Each structure stands twice: as structure tokens, then as C-alpha cells.
Amino acid sequence: MAGNIGFISTRFAGTDGVSLESAKWAQVFWDDKYFSCWYAGRLDRAAEVSHCIPEAYFEHPENQWINQRIWGHNNRTRLVTRRIYDLSEYLKETLYNFVNTFEIRLLVFENTLSIPMHVPLGVAITEFLEETRMPSIAHHHDFYWERNRFLVNCVSDYLEMAFPPRTRNLQHVTINQAAQEELSWRKGVTSALIPNVFDFDKPPPTIDAYSADVRAELGLKPDDIMILQPTRVVPRKGIEHAIKLVQMLDNPKCKLVVSHEAGDEGFEYFNVLQEIAQDAGVDIRFFATRISDIRHFDSEGRKIYTLWDLYPHADLVTYPSLYEGFGNAFLEAVYFRVPVLINRYNIFARDIEPLGFQVPVMDGFVTRRIVEEVSRILEDKDYREAMLNHNYEVAKSFFSYSVLRRKLNALVGNVPGM
């Protein structure tokens, strides 16, 4: 092996962006003979290459106690400061243990130096880097200044120190141009731009024996049109626009399927969506209770599917988000060769749209032109196939593992001895 690489975050488990993208990086590193090890508070990686520290999880009770007293407050007590330092000192010691146990040569910090869900961990990492000067990469998915919940706080000193830190031997990676520019302006550091990727060199999974009954389990008839909204039920996903689209299509065969759960930001939006759909006469079906990270059977003996089991059954994907850090669902739709309607959110308009994808794009609201374009996509098979093939080739050129490999090789090349 050319050298062991250690991934560090608060959580590597499930289907959140950090967990998914880190696994892709690890796969590319493995292809190039680098062995990946994992440090986090929650882990679903192989036990023999994992270092699970419960206190590193952002929902650990001690960290939650701290978060309740630093966000939305202008003043910090001496007790809060002491508990931040005590936890950070403990976590720093576990970082030393992780590096020594697995003989790590390069560290990759997945969002732990970007968004301050766990301030003590960010402080611990920063002090560890200052003490060791260990070669590292900070992979930034989103920053604290992009989230309203972090704007009012009493930890500006820690935010300046650790989110992210300015330290030698730490290379920065951002996933979009806006973040790259903002990081440079706020922190005075340069970063490599590496977008999220998919393995477009390999064909996507198809319907198999396990997933063959998805449409039946949804209660769809064979000739129904399945319109998939593959997101959580939170306001920034703009699901009301998907409802409006289905209403304007005015086809009783169109069924809107929402894949993921509500509750992350309360249930008010979920209730509003149900009211909007009822008033619009739109058949909307929430399937979150049957979707999980892995296939299994629940306590009632029902199949539990993954999101990737749904895509091959979909006739159209709606992605009318108001804001996204990048937009994995867009790439997923392209990967599974499903037509996708997308809202022109900032990152799409700046980083993705100029690359030449052929998709119906709405500008904040659904128009008659958009409805006509979607209708043609659903009805004209040749037109649809040409569009899907074109989009796949564009994505393969800009968002494939080969692109990721080239960019990671450049970063690793800066590390002596790797």
C-alpha cells in the first residue's frame, strides 16, 4: 500500500451527502492502492477499519448540551467554555490514537471543519493539526455562514479558529464555485473545486426480483405515470412546485411519489403539502416508511426498499429545490436515465447548467411552457431517449469517477511520500 488514509467526521452512516461522497472518495483511493480507515461518532463501515468514538457524534448528549447554549445566544458562560475544552481535549487524544493505531499518512476531514455541528471536534482537529502538521484535506460540503441557525452565536472565536482553520499542510476542497470564492474571501485560503460525482463508467442498477413490485406496493396501476420527488420533506425542496406541475399536467394517471421523511424541520410543511395537493386534486403518495439505507423487511414482514429501487420505476423526477449545496438528486436522475425537471437554484445555474444538460428548467415557478415540455418528454419516446443519452454523456464528462481520480491525484501528489 502507498499509505493509509484516515477519514474523519461526526458520522459515516446512512445516505447523507457526507457519508455517500466520502465512500466514493474511498473507492477511488482504493483503486489507486490507498487503504481507507474511518473515525466518527456513528459508523457503518467495516469494524476492522473503524474507530468509533461516541462523543464525536453531533447528537451525543454532551455536544447537544453545548449546542443548546452557544447557538442563538450572544454570551457564553465560563462553564460552557470549560466543557468545550474538556471535550475537545478528550477528542484530540482519540485522534492521536486513531492515527497511531492505523498508521495514517493522510487525513481527510469530511465537513468537520466546515459546518460547526460539533464545535469541540473542530477545535480538537485544529489543535491536532497545529501540533502535528500532519498532511490533510478538508472536504467542505457546506459552511456555517450558509446556514441561518449559526448566524447568532457566542463562539465567534472558535468559528474563526477552526471552521475552517488556516494551518499549513491542510488542503481545502469545495464542491461549488460560490463556496470556493466565499472561502477565499472570508478565510484567505485557496481550495480545489471537486464536485460530487457518480460512477458513470458503470451502468446503473436495474429492476431486479426484489424491487420488481415497487409500483404495486405504491398502489400504482401498470399505466400510471410515476413522478418521483426523491428528497426529504423540508421547505427548501420546493415540493409545492411538483404538486403544481402535476396539477397542470391534468392527467389522472400522474401520481406524485415523495420518497423521504418529514420531521427534520417539523411537520408543518408536510401538513401544508397535503392540503395543497388535496385542493389541487393531485394524488400524492409519501413512501418514507418503506425507504431505508439498505434493503430489509420490517416488523410486519413488509419489504423496505432503497431510494435506488425507486428510480428505475420513475417516469419523471421533480427537483424544484430553492437551494442546494450541489444537487445529488439531479445526478442520480441523470445516472438512472430518468428525465428530470429542475428549478434554477443558484448552484445549478452557475456550476451545472452551463455544461449543456438538456432538461426542463423552471425559474421559481411552473409555467405553461414547462408543462408542455414535460408532456412532450413523457409522450415522445424518441425525444426522451435522445435527451437522456445526451445528459448521460455530459455527466460522464464532468461528474464521473475519472474526474474525481484526476483531482484527488493532484491533491495526494502534494503530500511527500504518498
pLDDT in tens, the chain (418 residues): 467 999 999 999 877 889 989 999 999 999 988 999 999 999 999 999 999 999 999 999 999 999 999 999 999 999 999 999 999 999 999 999 999 999 999 999 999 999 999 999 999 999 999 999 999 999 999 999 998 889 999 999 999 999 999 999 999 999 999 999 999 999 999 999 999 999 999 999 999 999 999 999 999 999 999 999 999 898 999 999 999 999 999 999 999 999 988 765 678 999 999 999 999 999 999 999 999 888 999 999 999 999 999 999 999 999 999 988 888 899 999 999 999 999 999 999 999 999 999 999 999 999 999 999 999 999 999 999 999 999 999 999 999 999 999 999 999 998 877 7
Those residues whose C-beta lies under 8 Å from the C-beta of residue 227, and which sit 6 or more positions away, are 242, 245, 246, 254, 255, 256, 257, 314, 315, 316, 317, 318
* Domains of the chain in sequence order: 4-197+401-412 (3.40.50.2000), 214-397 (3.40.50.2000)
Give the residue carrying C-alpha cell 413490485. 213
> In this structure, are residues 319 and 327 in contact, taking their beta carbons and an 8 Å threshold?
yes
CA pair distance 272, 274, nearest whole angstrom: 5
Angle at 287 (CA atoms; ends 283, 291), nearest 5 degrees: 160
Strand pairing of 303-304 and 42-43? unpaired
Q: How far is CA 291 from CA 114, 258, 373, in A?
A: 29, 10, 30
DSSP-assigned beta bridge partners for residue 35:
4
> In this structure, are residues 253 and 225 in contact, taking their beta carbons and an 8 Å threshold?
yes
Q: At what angle do helices 119-132 and 78-102 cross, to 10 degrees?
A: 50
pTM of the entire predicted model: 0.89
